[in-house]
């Protein structure tokens, strides 16, 4: 594989700046989980150098020895300005935000505000597997509302799930993934308004995980859940983590709609003080100064999703892929290959390509794999070549 990506290539595209040798020196999960002969296109890390404004903010902080406890409102302010510039949304009020250590811990805190132990949390399966782990670890029950055949929210299934979740008059929440991981589907304003209406009608509280919001491709428009009519008592989690590859510099914001401000005030001290100060510095710099770098990544991702579609059409035409408008994840329906529930294990064992298996994403995930597009096009080409060879 040394010939696959041997030298730095394209200075305009952050996805083409690192050699495979440099990537293999990384010590984070994506490049360490599997042996060196495996091409890792799985967990949601991006194969990019750190955005320059973020790198500068952190190195300046390190030079100052500025590594104490975090304070202040720079992070929500930077996000509010980003939301205004990118999404034309002015509804993010700094005073209705609180720092949380990361998105998933923020999701759990939000669910604790609006449900009790034993209550139900509705999710749209197939969905990001930790939704199951974190929700059940917090003592809540999952109720699945499967996505439709078109991979979009099925309002009928959602209503059934809301009814089931609210049985006996218990509180219930809906953990919305906006945009959706793993399909990359960007929910429309009309869909989100319909969701808000349904949630209101059934007395279900909405917690929107919007971690992928900055990663919207090809000129499509992200709609913040809290911006739609009827979402006033919603809660949202946002972060620069996915857009700028900052999982190692953790930090996120829990944001309340106007009618959820009282709930937000109940977030316990211990939940909001655990956020990393270096994380906050990095995330603030990303939202404030990282727009140009993000745009370069999004252009690269747009090319990569088209490349993947073309490669699959040529080498694995029975694999179904509907390119998403958001996230850097591709959800591949491999059922026609006849490899059973876990095609990822075949691609790994025979092809030496690591993809996420679909089953942990919940009902409807069997026979699917998730491929991470946030890498060099050369590696995507090599991955599809290996996948095709694995099933030849
Ligand atoms: C939908 C979604 N939520 C949350 C996370 C994880 O966020 P964090 O590391 O901030 O908990 C991810 C990571 O890929 C994700 O895709």
In the chain, how many domains are there? Answer: 2
Q: Identify the pLDDT of residue 95.
A: 98
The residue to mutate among 242, 330, 373, having the most atoms of ligand 1 within 8 angstroms of its beta carbon, is 242
Same-domain status, 168 and 243: yes
Look up residue 104 and give its two tokens. Answer: 């998933």
The residue whose CA has the least distance to atom 7 of ligand 1 is: 103
Q: Is there a single domain that holds both residue 315 and residue 224?
A: no
Q: How far is the CA of 105 from the centre of ligand 1 (A)?
A: 10
Three-state SS annotation for the chain:
CCCCCCCCCCCCCHHHCCCHHHHHCCCCHHHHCCCCCCEECCCCCCCCCCCHHHHHHHHHHHHHCCCCCCCCCHHHHHHHHHHHHHHCCCCCCHHHEEEECCHHHHHHHHHHHHCCCCCEEEECCCCCCHHHHHHHHCCCEEEECCCCCCCCCCHHHHHHHHHHHCHHHCCEEEEEECCCCCCCCCCCHHHHHHHHHHHHHHCEEEEEECCCCCCECCCCCCCCHHHCCCCCCCEEEECCCCCCCCCCCCCEEEEECHHHHHHHCCCCHHHHCCCCHHHHHHHHHHHHHCHHHHHHHHHHHHHHHHHHHHHHHHHCCCCEECCCCECCEEEEECHHHCCCCCHHHHHHHHHCEECEECHHHCCCCCCEEEEECCCCHHHHHHHHHHHHHHCC
What spacing in Å lies between the alpha carbon of 3 and ligand 1's midpoint?
33
- State the pLDDT at residue 109: 98
Instruction: List residues bridging with 326 in a β-sheet.
Output: 216
Distance 6 CA to ligand 1 centre (A): 31
Q: Work out which ligand 1 atom sits closest to the CA atom of 177.
A: 1
Q: How far is the CA of 271 from the centre of ligand 1 (A)?
A: 17
Let me know whether 297 and 264 are in one domain. no
C-alpha pair distances (Å), 249 with each of 55, 221, 275, 380:
11, 27, 10, 27
Per-residue pLDDT, 321: 98
Do 386 and 363 reside in the same domain of the chain?
yes
Going from the Cα of 314 to the center of ligand 1, the distance in angstroms, rounded, reads 32
Task: Kindly report the CATH number assigned to the domain that includes residue 90.
Answer: 3.40.640.10
> Cα of 242 to ligand 1 centre, how many Å?
8
For residue 9, being part of any structural domain is answered with no
Q: What is the pLDDT along the chain (392 residues), one digit of tens a residue?
A: 444 454 446 779 999 999 999 999 999 999 999 999 999 999 999 999 999 999 999 999 999 999 999 999 999 999 999 999 999 999 999 999 999 999 999 999 999 999 999 999 999 999 999 999 999 999 999 999 999 999 999 999 999 999 999 999 999 999 999 999 999 999 999 999 999 999 999 999 999 999 999 999 999 999 999 999 999 999 999 999 999 999 999 999 999 999 999 999 999 998 888 999 999 999 999 999 999 999 999 999 999 999 999 999 999 999 999 999 999 999 999 999 999 999 999 999 999 999 999 999 999 999 999 999 999 999 999 999 999 999 99
CA of 104, closest atom in ligand 1? 11
pLDDT score of 272:
85
Q: Looking at 239, 271, 289, which one is the last position of a domain?
A: 289
pLDDT reported for residue 11: 76
**Among the three residues 272, 289, 306, which one is the final residue of a domain in this structure?**
289
Measured from the CA of 43, which atom of ligand 1 is nearest?
A: 14
Asked whether residue 384 is assigned to any structural domain, the reply reads yes
Instruction: Answer yes or no: do 85 and 178 share one domain.
Output: yes
Radius of gyration of the chain (CA): 21
**Shared domain check, 365 and 314:** yes
The predicted structure's pLDDT at residue 2: 43
Residue with CA at minimum distance from ligand 1 atom 12: 211
Q: What lines the ligand 1 site, CB under 6 Å?
A: 44, 102-104, 128, 177, 181, 209, 211, 239, 241, 247, 252
Nearest CA to ligand 1 atom 14: 44
What is the extent of the structural domain holding 131? 68-289
Q: How far is CA 101 from CA 61, 283, 317, in A?
A: 19, 12, 42
Separation of 338 CA from ligand 1 center, angstroms?
31
pTM, entire model: 0.97
The verdict on residue 60 lying in a domain is no
Let me know whether 187 and 303 are in one domain.
Answer: no
- Asked if residues 340 and 55 have their Cβ atoms less than 8 Å apart, the reply is no
How many residues are there in the chain? 392
């Amino acid at each position: 594989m040394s010939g696959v990506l041997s030298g730095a290539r394209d200075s305009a595209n952050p996805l083409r700046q690192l050699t495979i040798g440099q990537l293999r020196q990384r010590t984070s999960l994506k490049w360490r989980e599997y042996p060196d002969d495996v091409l890792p296109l799985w967990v949601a890390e991006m194969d990019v150098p750190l955005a320059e404004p973020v790198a500068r903010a952190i190195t300046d902080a390190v030079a100052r020895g500025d590594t104490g406890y975090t304070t202040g409102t720079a992070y929500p302010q930077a996000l509010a300005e980003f939301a205004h510039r990118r999404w034309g949304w002015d509804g993010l009020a700094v005073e209705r935000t609180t720092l949380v250590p990361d998105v998933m811990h923020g999701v759990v805190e939000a669910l604790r505000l609006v449900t009790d132990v034993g209550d139900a949390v509705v999710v749209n399966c197939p969905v990001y597997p930790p939704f199951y782990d974190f929700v059940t670890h917090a003592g809540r029950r999952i109720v699945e509302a499967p996505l439709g055949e078109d991979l979009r929210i099925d309002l009928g299934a959602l209503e059934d799930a809301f009814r089931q979740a609210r049985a006996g008059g218990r509180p219930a929440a809906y953990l919305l993934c906006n945009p959706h991981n793993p399909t990359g589907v960007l929910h429309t304003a009309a869909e989100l308004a319909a969701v808000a209406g349904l949630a209101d009608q059934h007395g279900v509280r909405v917690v929107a995980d919007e971690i992928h919001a900055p990663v919207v491709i090809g000129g499509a428009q992200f709609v913040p859940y809290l911006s739609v009519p009827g979402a006033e008592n919603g809660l949202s989690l946002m972060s620069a983590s996915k857009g700028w590859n900052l999982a190692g510099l953790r930090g996120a914001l829990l944001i309340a709609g106007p009618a959820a401000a009282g709930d937000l005030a109940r977030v316990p001290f211990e939940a909001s003080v655990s956020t990393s100060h270096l994380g906050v510095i990095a995330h603030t710099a990303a939202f404030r100064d990282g727009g140009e770098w993000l745009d370069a990544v999004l252009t690269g991702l747009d090319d990569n999703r088209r490349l993947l579609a073309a490669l699959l059409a040529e080498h694995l035409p029975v694999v179904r892929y509907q390119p998403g408008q958001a996230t850097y994840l591709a959800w591949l329906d491999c059922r026609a290959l006849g490899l059973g529930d876990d095609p990822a294990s075949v691609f790994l064992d025979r092809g030496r390509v690591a993809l996420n298996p679909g089953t942990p994403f919940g009902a409807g995930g069997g026979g699917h794999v998730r491929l991470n597009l946030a890498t060099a096009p050369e590696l995507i080409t090599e991955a599809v070549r290996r996948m095709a060879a694995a099933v030849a």
